[in-house]
Amino acid sequence: MPDQVRSALALLIVMIVMFVSLTVGGDGESQDKTPVDEPNYSPVQHSAVMTDDDVDFGLSLKASDVTRTSLTLTCEQSGGSFTGELSTGPQFSLDRLDGAKWIICDTLVPEEELAWTMELYLIQPDGSVTWDVDWSNIYGEVPAGNYRISKTFMDETSENTYFAYFTVE
């Protein structure tokens, strides 16, 4: 088989896989709060990445000082690739592990009525940023269980959602 045909076939296969993942897998968000699969969860896992466009920013998130209404979130950047500056805003969301499925936590008010401030936090290359996250006015006091907090980060051309996993006792 000539190299050009092999290259064209490989490109076609990649395009089919991308199409199937976009149409079947979706973006992992659920409008009706149905469970979202996360097959690689482990209670000892502290951070994970879900990339929307296969660009790894080299970020890891870790939750500490967890209470029923808050936690401290640390973001570290090392390696990865990005264009321009990495940034995020104050927005976050919480999911609760129910068996093997992630359930989007209910908010105290409808999500479309939530108002977020307009801060922009820059993530320095090979740097670390820490935030105190208080969700009491958004989710109230959450019951004991396994959770993940998600934040979306962006550079000049892409955005990715990263998770930090934690347990509320």
- How confident is residue 10, by pLDDT bands cut at 50, 70 and 90? very low
Same domain, 53 and 133: yes
Same domain, 129 and 102: yes
Same domain, 21 and 42: no
- How confident is residue 6, by pLDDT bands cut at 50, 70 and 90? low
Range of the domain at 9: 1-30
Using DSSP's 3-state secondary structure scheme, residue 28 falls into coil
Select the more confidently predicted residue: 123 or 12.
Answer: 123
Q: b/e map of 4-13 (b: 16 or more CB within 10 Å)?
A: eeeeeeeeee
- How confident is residue 155, by pLDDT bands cut at 50, 70 and 90? very high
Same domain, 6 and 55: no
Query: Is residue 112 over pLDDT 90?
Result: no
Helices (H), 49-88: none
* Alpha-carbon gap, residue 43 to 26, rounded angstroms: 25
* Alpha-carbon gap, residue 33 to 46, rounded angstroms: 24
pLDDT tens digits, one per residue of 37-92: 443 443 334 455 555 556 789 999 999 999 999 999 999 999 998 999 999 999 99
Residue corresponding to tokens 């199409």 = 19
Same domain, 122 and 155: yes
